[in-house]
Amino acid sequence: MAADEQREWWNGEIGDVVLSDETIQARIAELGAKITEDYADDPPLLVCVLKGAMLFLSDLSRAIELPVEVDFMAVSSYGSATKTSGVVRIVKDLDVDLTGRNVLVVEDIIDSGLTLNYLRKYLSARKPKSIEVCALLIKEGEQRVEQELRYVGFTIPSSFVVGYGLDVAERYRNLRGLYTYVGKGSS
């Protein structure tokens, strides 16, 4: 899909390209190589934070050249809004035991950091060997909680973005690149 191509089903809600599919895929290859190197002796359990990180997890897991396992969690702090509520709810919990395992939380985007902070505490109580984070995106200047992030794809401006798994009201996850969301009735 060309970066400047406007699709009819976008309804004028999608703005400029923030990251192209090619740029995203190149960075994921780099992250996968680094994770492969770092965990060569003890592959991690990849914990995908649904739903936004699903595409990122899919591509990242194929870029990691180790026998990784995958599990899924669903948390909610947005609902259908474009701003976090600050209240985190576990919607779907993990199915596997974390005791003594390296855990790599795969996140789509870190903005306030409140959800990730909550998740780290929640998962730490299960006695893993380690917990690290691989975030595709960090929103510049939005963090309310200081985070130590081992793997970061990109730092982006503080605007609401959709595509590559990220949505607004469950729409636009299927866009290959990452775009600004300008809202209804915009052009």
CA distance to 25, 32, 57, 142, 176, per residue, from 37 (Å): 19, 9, 18, 31, 28
**Single pTM value for the model:** 0.87
pLDDT in tens for each of the 187 residues of the chain? 444 455 677 778 999 999 999 999 999 999 999 999 999 999 999 999 999 999 999 999 999 999 999 999 998 765 554 555 567 788 898 999 999 999 999 999 988 788 888 899 999 999 999 999 999 999 887 655 667 899 999 999 888 999 999 999 889 999 999 999 998 754 4
Q: Which of 41, 93, 95, 111 is catalytic?
A: 111
**Which residues are CB-contacts of 66 (< 8 A; sequence separation ≥ 6)?**
35, 36, 39, 40, 43
Residue matched to tokens 């600004």: 180
Q: Which domains does the chain have, with CATH numbers?
A: 23-181 (3.40.50.2020)
**Active site (annotated) includes residue 111:** yes
